[in-house]
Amino acid sequence: MTYLPARKLYQEWAATYDDPSNPLIEAESKVLAGILGEVAGKKVLDLGCGTGRHAILLAKAGAQVTGVDFSDEMLAVARSNSKGLEITFLNAELGAVPLEEPFDLVLCSLVLSHVPDLLPAMKEMSRLTRPGGRIIITDLRTDHWFRKTRKIRKFGNYVTDGFKHTLSDYRTAAAATWLKLECLSRIYFDDAIVARFRWFFYLKYIAVGYAFELTKQPA
């Protein structure tokens, strides 16, 4: 296994990231589709947007979308994938987004296991959400890890840094940033996925990820 820091990993992975054989992405998409709700006419920020998987669906559903990511290579694929749609893409760190105007919905999908501390990213999500607006965070489940950090296998034989965040870490970061945790959904591999990836059968019963729905409280 070759170690790459996250930004370098996504630089290498960008060209093949959209390969549809990633079961976590498939399982997460299904859960997210159930909780996104109506987005037409809403201002949506997709933080860590990658190749634009969600940004594109949201724009097609009528949302006004801005996608932010720290990888130029992932953003280049997102721009190419979204030709004909009006999506603004921007290179920035999760914890320092150079935008001011608040959004109705902030989405941060499959990103936070890459950051050691939830607080800088959650602060930005809170700052960039209008009072009463929603935040949806999805991620790989890391709360059952024994250690705070682990090399997580990403694409091919590459590994990168992964950071454990417990549910209580999320609650603490939410409370510190005026966010109210409204709902937590667990992401499992369903029968359709398990039929294709049989060795993951136990992941029908053990969550592979979480989806958090939060609201921004009035100051």
Give the interface with ligand SAM as residue ranges (CB under 6 A).
Answer: 6, 10, 48-50, 53-54, 69-71, 74, 93-94, 109-111, 114-115
Shortest CB 56 distance to ligand SAM, Å: 10
Shortest CB 35 distance to ligand SAM, Å: 14
Shortest CB 58 distance to ligand SAM, Å: 11
Shortest CB 19 distance to ligand SAM, Å: 12
Closer by beta carbon to ligand SAM, 83 or else 198:
83
Closer by beta carbon to ligand SAM, 131 or else 156:
156
Three-class SS string for the chain?
CEECCHHHHHHHHHHHCCCCCCHHHHHHHHHHHHHCCCCCCCEEEEECCCCCHHHHHHHHCCCEEEEEECCHHHHHHHHHHCCCCCEEEEECECCECCCCCCEEEEEEECCHHHCCCHHHHHHHHHHCEEEEEEEEEEEECCCCCCCCEEEEECCCCEEEEEECCCHHHHHHHHHHCCEEEEEEEEECCCHHHHHHCHHHHHHHCCCCEEEEEEEECCC
Shortest CB 218 distance to ligand SAM, Å: 28
Closer by beta carbon to ligand SAM, 53 or else 141:
53
Shortest CB 219 distance to ligand SAM, Å: 26
- Which residues partner with 153 through β-bridges? 159
Closer by beta carbon to ligand SAM, 120 or else 217:
120
Closer by beta carbon to ligand SAM, 50 or else 133:
50
Closer by beta carbon to ligand SAM, 23 or else 48:
48
| Block residue for tokens 């209008």 | 130
Closest residue to ligand SAM using C-beta atoms: 50
Of the candidates 67, 36, 64, 63, the one whose C-alpha atom is nearest the C-alpha of residue 51 is: 67
| Block residue for tokens 């054989």 | 21
